[in-house]
Amino acid sequence: MTQLQAAPLKTLSFSGRRSAVAAARPRHATATFRCSAAARSYIITLLPGDGIGPEVVAVAKDVLSAAGAKEGVELRFREMLMGGAALDAVGVPLPDETLAAAQASDAILLGAIGGYKWDSNEKHLKPETGLLNIRAGLGVFANLRPATVLPQLVDASTLKKEVAEGVDIMVVRELTGGIYFGQPRGFGTNDMGEEIGFNTEIYSVSEIDRIARVAFEVARKRGGKLCSVDKANVLEASMLWRKRVTAIASEFPDVELSHMYVDNASMQLVRNPKQFDTIVTNNIFGDILSDEASMITGSIGMLPSASVGESGPGLFEPIHGSAPDIAGQDKANPLATILSAAMLLKYGLGAETAAKRIETAVTETLDNGFRTGDIYSPGTTLVGCKRMGEEVLKALESQK
């Protein structure tokens, strides 16, 4: 008989595989977005993290402050350790005081996590474990990842101009369920005495319903089209996913719902990406497809993300990694973090006018021809991380 050794949480109970707090969440709850910046003073927790994280967060902080000041929004910042930096300083990737500070704030801006230095650490001592834990601690379950091809950067896409031009996709990824968190998981031996590793893809009705509602709401505010991506021809978890998304669709008659298998979706994203408006999918498929969609834009250095939950602060971060090979060299592209700051204002604080100021300043900076190395092309001006931030600030400060 195959011998299985489950990881720390050993129960096989599907309903009990996650925290009691998560299990107690209301069935029909959905993500919370602030509608207006009624309060004018907010606490922002900064998590610079590792690699280029401190560089891009420092730039984004200045832009965030300037945009807030333009609209009379006071932002107070506190910087905390997380990831490899926390491991080096205190021996854990997410110190208790960091999580407490994040939970007590109005929004969190994260730089980047990880690096070669910690790759050989045991799982619980990897920087990425800190990221998973803070997502769980904040209760964020919906990850919003836009992939928009800006007119100034259409030639940076690896796709033909006529394919990439005009692409504007939002991927809504379920963030706290599925195979990344499912139990049982771990290592064991099979009947042949071979070592095996195993994971469990599992979703409950409540988990699917809440992410579906977020996606329908997002699609309603965009182009009114939602594509649900699954593997319902093979996986039981996907069969339930499709059943529930279809059921939730009745609550949103103004949104056009379609379904697509994940293998076809990955092909269609490079064949005809403009057919998509909003995509909703599970954790692992969303992890992969959102990265694929990001490369249509030409550089992951341009793309922000937001992770939100039923209540409490959201987590806002660029989708790029820590890029340790260029850390400290002033080569990083800070625009993804700056645009994450705009999402923080819009979705986290309800300060949409301030968010629009940042987006407009980024567009103007690109119109003026400034480029970091990852998006540089002949005829444009090559600048570093700090200079790019200065140009965005200059464009921001020139606004009336």
Note the pLDDT tens digit of each residue in 323-366: 999 999 999 999 999 999 999 999 899 999 999 999 999 999 99
Q: How many CB atoms lie within 10 A of CB 336?
A: 24
Give the residue, 237 or 12, on which the prediction is more confident.
237
Q: Mapping DSSP to helix (H, G, I), strand (E, B) and coil, where does residue 226 land?
A: strand
Return the pLDDT at 19.
32
Alpha carbons 339 and 345: distance in angstroms, whole number:
10
Residues 6+ apart with CB under 8 A from 400: none
pTM of the prediction? Answer: 0.82
Return the pLDDT at 40.
85
Question: H-helix or E-strand containing 62?
Answer: helix 53-70
Q: State the catalytic residues.
A: 180, 231, 263, 287, 291
> What are the beta bridge partners of residue 94?
none
Say which range, 31-40, 78-87, 124-133, 228-237, has the weakest mean pLDDT: 31-40
Reported as a single tens digit per residue, the pLDDT across 58-79 is: 999 999 999 999 999 999 999 9
Reported as a single tens digit per residue, the pLDDT across 89-124 is: 999 999 999 999 999 999 999 999 999 999 999 999
Angle between helices 385-397 and 53-70 (to 10 degrees): 0
> What is the average per-residue pLDDT within 122-135?
94
| 128-156 burial: b if 16+ Cβ within 10 Å, else e | ebbbbbbbbbbbbbbbbbbbbbbebbbeb
Alpha carbons 188 and 176: distance in angstroms, whole number:
25
Average pLDDT, the chain: 90
Return the pLDDT at 20.
30
